[in-house]
Amino acid sequence: MRRLMQTLMALAVPAMLITGASPATATAAPAAEVHCTSFSNVNVSWAGPQYFMHVPSTSWDSYNYNCVLARGDRNVAVKALQESLNACYGQGIATDSHFGTETERAVRNAQNEIIRTFGNVLVADGRFGPVTSSWFKFQIYDHWNGGTPTGNCAHR
């Protein structure tokens, strides 16, 4: 058994020196984070067939909410998020499609409101990911009236 351990260490140490890894820090690489790039039109069935929410998703009408919006993102998904932050959480930020410090602060404020309402269901980190999305209120739009905001909000 001792000889086997010596052989394994003899093979592992040079590999660690080459890669810079150590037994204490060697971990599996994290999965690549997918960023939201668009939004999906989610019908608000209780309000009527023309009412929809714009929920950030991986691509247009993909209904895949397993994505993240974070500082530095610039796209229509960020704009949809900003519109809901203003309408549903009273944040008063610019709807400029840029996830900067103000949007991050607004997301953190919304997350803290969600925590106050529902308990510790998420972390208030200022990033909009799948868990935040599942508890978040989104602005409702009337698609039969040119996509006009209704002033109402709902959970998806």
85 by Cβ neighbours in 10 Å (0-12 / 13-18 / 19+) ranks as buried
For 152, the 3-state DSSP assignment is strand
Using CA atoms, how far apart are residues 46 and 48, in angstroms rounded to an integer? Answer: 6
> pLDDT tens digits for 107-143?
999 999 999 999 999 999 999 999 999 999 999 999 9
**Over 50: is that where the pLDDT of 10 sits?**
no
Residue 39 above 60 pLDDT? yes
Instruction: Quote the mean pLDDT of the chain.
Output: 87
Sheet with 38-43, edge to edge strand ranges:
38-43, 51-57, 137-142, 148-155
Distance separating alpha carbons of residues 124 and 130, to the nearest angstrom: 13
pLDDT in tens, 78-89: 999 999 999 999
Least-confidence region, from 28-32, 36-40, 76-80, 129-133: 28-32
